[in-house]
Amino acid sequence: MIKRIQNLNFTPTTKELAQEFCDMDGDEQAEFLNLIFEISSGWDNSLCFQMQSVADSKKLNSGGRKVMELMGEYSTPNET
């Protein structure tokens, strides 16, 4: 029997990443955001500099800004 090992190397598009995030449930999205914090904590510059870079980007439209605003508004847990 002949066996072959193939390595695949691909980079998901921003559209694919966004779709995957939207397909996650709340717990999975929370884990994803936790991992962003964990990964970025090792950066020379903190995550706030990256977020400012996103906010200043000419590619960020009103929809993207709304998502950022909603994340901020809903970042406090519901007290019920």
The pLDDT-based confidence of 67 (bands split at 50, 70, 90) is very high
pLDDT at 4: 92
How far is CA 52 from its chain centroid? 15
Domain spans of the chain?
14-43, 45-75
Q: Give me the pLDDT at residue 20, please.
A: 97
Q: What is the pLDDT of residues 12-59, one digit of tens each?
A: 999 999 999 999 999 999 999 999 999 998 888 788 888 999 999 999
- List, in sequence order, the alpha helices (H) in the chain: 14-23, 26-40, 47-56, 62-73
CB under 8 Å to 64, separation ≥6 — which residues? 54
Q: Please tell me the pTM assigned to this model.
A: 0.78
- Give the angle subtended at the CA of 18 by the CAs of 23 and 44, to the nearest 5°: 125
Coil/strand/helix, residue 46? coil
pLDDT bracket for residue 63 (50, 70, 90): very high
* Residue 80 pLDDT > 80: no
